[in-house]
Amino acid sequence: MTGDILINSLSGLLIITSVMLIGSRKAKSSAMLYSVQSFVLVLTFLAIAKSVDAEQLYHWSITAFITKVIALPALFYYAFSKMSDPKADKPVIHFGWIIPIAGVITMASFMAVESVQLPLVEHLKPALAVSLGHFFLGLLCIVSQRNILKQLFGYCLMENGSSLSLALLANKAPGLVEVGITTDAVFAVLFMVILARQIYFKLNTLDVNQLTSLKG
C-alpha cells in the first residue's frame, strides 16, 4: 500500500512539473524543467518497479534517465542557445488560465479512468489518470506557446504520459518495447529541432504566428 501511495504522489508531482513547464517563460528554464519532470518520471518508474518487482522497469529507468533526463534536455538547451526569438517567447494563453485548465483536465481524466476494472491498477487509478491527463496537458502546451521549439515540449509531455501508462499497465513488458518507443520519440524530436533550425535560419523566426502563408 505504501508503494501505491508513493506512485500516486509522484504522479501528482508530474502534473505539477508539467504545469510549471507549460507556464515557464524562459526557454532555457523550460529545458531544465523538462529534465526535472523526466526525473520525477524515472522515480515513478523505480517506485513501480519496487512495488511490483518488475526487473524490466529498472532497465527502462536507465534508458529513460539517459534519454529524457539528460539527452533531450541537453538537445533543447543547445537548440535554445543557438536560436532565440524573444518575440516568440510570449505565450498565447496567460499562466493564470493554464492552472484552472490543467485542473479541469486532471479532473476529467480521473472521471474517465474511474470505471477501469483491471486489478493491476485498482489502487493506482490516480496515476493512470495522470498518464491520460498528460496527453491533454501536452496539447495545452502546444496551443499555449508561440515558440515552435517550446511547442515540442508538448509532444514530450505526451510521450511521458505514454511511458507512464506503459509502466503502470505493462510493467513486465520486454524492454525492447520501451526502448523502441523512446528511440523513435527521440528521433522525432531531433528531426523537429533540425527542421526548426532550417526555419530559423531561412525565415529568421521561431514564432508560429509567422508561419501562416499557407491557408484555406
Partner 1 sequence: MSPTEILLLLMVVPFVAAMISFLALRGGEATRKFAIGCHSLSMVLIMILSLTVAGSVFIDGPIQALDNWLYIDGLSALFLSVLGVVSFLTGMYSIGYIGHEYKHGELSGTKVALYYGLFNLFIATMLLAVSSNNVIMMWVAIEATTICSVFLVGLYGQRSSLEAAWKYIIICSVGLAFGLFGSILTYSNAAAVFADPANAIFWTDIHQNAKALDPTLVHISFIFVLIGFGTKVGLFPMHAWLPDAHSEAPSPVSALLSAGLLNCALLVILRYYIITVKAIGPDFPETLMLVFGFMSVAVSAFFIITQHDIKRKLAYHSVENMGLITLAIALGPIGVIAGLMHVINHSLAKTLMFCGAGNILLKYGTRDITVVKGILKVAPMTGILVAIGALALGGVPPFSMFVSEFLMVTAAISEDMPFFTLALLSLLAIVLGGLAHMVACCVMGDKPDEIEKGELSFMTIAPMVVIVGLIVIMGTFIPNQVLHGIDRAALVLLDSDEPTVINILNLPGIVQPTEMLATKPTLAQK
Which residue from 85, 95, 169, 207 is in contact with partner 1, where contact means CB under 8 A?
169
Q: Should residue 83 be labelled a site residue for partner 1 when binding is judged by CB under 8 A?
A: no
Q: What is each CA distance from 17 to 39, 76, 79, 210, in whole angstroms?
A: 10, 17, 21, 29
Q: Should residue 180 be labelled a site residue for partner 1 when binding is judged by CB under 8 A?
A: yes
Q: Should residue 97 be labelled a site residue for partner 1 when binding is judged by CB under 8 A?
A: no
Q: Should residue 172 be labelled a site residue for partner 1 when binding is judged by CB under 8 A?
A: yes
Of 96 and 202, which CB lies nearer to partner 1 in the complex structure? 202
Residue 207 forms beta bridges with which residues? 147
Which residue from 12, 77, 192, 207 is in contact with partner 1, where contact means CB under 8 A?
192
Q: Give which of 70, 74, 130, 60 is closest to 102, Cα–Cα.
A: 130
Q: Give which of 7, 15, 3, 10 is closest to 133, Cα–Cα.
A: 15
| Site pattern 106..125 for partner 1 (x: CB under 8 A) | ------xx-xxxxxx-----
CA dist., res. 95 & res. 22, Å (int): 8
Asked if 87 and 204 count as a contact pair (C-beta separation under 8 A), the reply is no
Q: Should residue 187 be labelled a site residue for partner 1 when binding is judged by CB under 8 A?
A: yes
Q: Give which of 34, 68, 82, 40 is closest to 193, Cα–Cα.
A: 82
Q: Should residue 139 be labelled a site residue for partner 1 when binding is judged by CB under 8 A?
A: yes
CA dist., res. 100 & res. 108, Å (int): 12
**Residues of this chain that bind partner 1 (CB under 8 A):** 112-113, 115-120, 131-132, 135, 138-139, 142, 148, 151-152, 154-155, 158-159, 161-162, 165-166, 168-170, 172-174, 177, 180-181, 184, 187-188, 191-192, 195-196, 198-199, 202-203, 211-214, 216
